Structure 1
Amino acid sequence: MAEYTTILEGLEVAMRLGIHPHEAEPQRVRLSVWMTVAYPAVPDGDTIDAVLDYDFLRDGIRAMAAGPGFALQETLVEAVASLCLADPRVRSVRVRSLKPDVYPDAAVGCEIVRSR
């Protein structure tokens, strides 16, 4: 078996995320995802068909951002983790979300780790 960590770092989207009235409008959210992906062997050949294509993750997060939004960052990161774990090759996932504009002096966020 061969394991790799596939990373999507710092994807920034505008989405509805929060419980406060001023968060009813989309705000900047930055997401990072680390997936531990297992293959039966070292990928043979230099083609995307041999590995996990991370386009599904970027596209899935962008679709979530275009949707109705989330009240909690915890709910958002769980949804992203579920998206990743839908692929049976993904053994574990770490998801981090950050809202960089909530406070003038700090970003706020949430991070989880989920595995099979």
Structure 2
Amino acid sequence: MADYSIILDRLDVAMRLGIHPHEMEPQRVRLSVEMTVRYPHPPSADAIDEVMDYDFVRTGIQELAAGPGFALQETLVEAIAAMCLADARVQRVRVRSMKLDVYPDARVGCEVVRDRVGR
């Protein structure tokens, strides 16, 4: 077996996220995803069909961002974690969201870690 960390870092999207009236308009949210992916053996042919094509994570996040939105960051990171764990090769996922413009002097975020065993 071969385990690899696949990282999608600092993907900025505009989306509806929050409980306050002013958050019903899209706001900037930064998302980072780290997955531990298990392959039966290390890739040897240097070909994409031997590994997970991580485009699905970026595309999936963009689709979530284009949707109706989320009230809670916790719900958003859980949805992204579940999307990643739908691929049986993903053993563990860490998802972090950061609202970039809520406060003038700080960002506010949420992070979840899910394992295949504990899902």
- TM-score range relative to shorter protein: over 0.9
2:34 aligns to what?
A: 34
- Aligned residue type for 2:42: V
Residues 59-88 of structure 1 deviation map (CA, whole Å, 9 limit, x = unaligned): 000000000000000000000000000000
1:43 aligns to what?
A: 43
Query: Offset of 1:44 from its aligned partner?
Result: 1.9
Query: Offset of 1:13 from its aligned partner?
Result: 0.3
- Aligned residue type for 2:61: I
- Aligned residue type for 1:102: V
Query: Offset of 1:19 from its aligned partner?
Result: 0.2
The separation in 2 between residues aligned to 1:105 and 1:94, in whole angstroms, is: 26
Aligned length: 116
2:4 aligns to what?
A: 4
Question: Which ranges in structure 1 are unaligned for 5 or more consecutive residues?
Answer: none
Give the alignment of 1:1-116 within 5 angstroms: 1-116=1-116
The separation in 1 between residues aligned to 2:37 and 2:77, in whole angstroms, is: 18
Q: CA RMSD in A?
A: 0.4
Report the TM-score, using the length of structure 2 for normalisation: 0.97
Residues 25-65 of structure 1 deviation map (CA, whole Å, 9 limit, x = unaligned): 00000000000000011112111111010100000000000
Q: Which segments of structure 1 move beyond 4 Å, counting only runs of 4 or more?
A: none
Give the percent of matched residue pairs that are identical in Structure 1 and Structure 2: 72
